[in-house]
């Protein structure tokens, strides 16, 4: 409701950043998978209703397995949307997390094109695009093919003595991938 009051269009929600990962001890979840699904679903159903009333969106962000255990793939997020019949929840496709979790970023972008409402860009190591090894061109070609015209946000750290120039270089790199 406050988001709508200030003219915001959507809110980013990861399932539970840093709550638990199977990759670190104790390696046993505090809840069952069914319990996780129920807890996240209840929150999303509530948020979906409010978003519908306020004309906003909820952007559900899958995180990588080292940060969370519940929603790691775009297909995991899609399951929540489909099974709960959520009308105001869309997926964030975060290139950094997808680089770790998805078998193919372009394939995931194509398979979930109708539910993606927000993009986060960072290179494979979470620094600015163009400073690592991700193939942004192939993924951007897929987004163009999908007709994606939603948000695209830098969500990265900057590795540079000159951060302003690093951002300019990253933007130039991404623009070159659109050709």
104-159: pLDDT as tens digits: 999 999 999 999 999 999 999 999 999 999 999 999 999 999 999 998 999 999 99
On whether the 2-176 domain is CATH 3.20.20.150, my answer is yes
> Would you say the pTM of this structure is higher than 0.85?
yes
**Residue 57 in tokens:** 């969106």
Residue positions annotated with a catalytic role: 61, 155
d(CA 116, CA 14): 14
Average pLDDT in the chain: 93
Separation in Å, CA 38 to CA 42, 86, 88: 6, 14, 18
Containing 34, the helix (H) or strand (E) segment is helix 33-54
40-94: pLDDT as tens digits: 999 999 999 999 999 999 999 999 988 888 899 999 999 999 999 999 999 999 9
Q: What is the pLDDT of residue 19?
A: 66
């Amino acid at each position: 409701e406050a988001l709508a009051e200030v003219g915001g269009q959507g809110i980013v929600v990861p399932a539970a950043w840093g709550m638990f990962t199977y990759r670190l001890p104790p390696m046993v979840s505090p809840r069952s998978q069914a319990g996780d699904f129920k807890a996240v679903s209840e929150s999303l159903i509530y948020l979906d209703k409010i978003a519908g009333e306020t004309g906003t969106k909820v952007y559900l962000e899958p995180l990588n397995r080292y940060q969370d255990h519940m929603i790691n793939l775009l297909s995991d997020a899609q399951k929540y949307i489909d099974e709960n019949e959520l009308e105001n929840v869309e997926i964030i496709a975060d290139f950094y997390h997808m680089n770790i979790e998805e078998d193919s970023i372009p394939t995931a972008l194509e398979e979930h094109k109708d539910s993606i409402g927000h993009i986060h860009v960072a290179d494979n190591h979470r620094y600015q695009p163009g400073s690592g090894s991700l193939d942004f061109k192939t993924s951007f070609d897929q987004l163009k093919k999908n007709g994606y015209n939603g948000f695209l946000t830098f969500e990265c750290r900057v590795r540079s003595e000159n951060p302003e120039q690093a951002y300019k270089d990253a933007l130039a790199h991404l623009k070159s991938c659109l050709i």
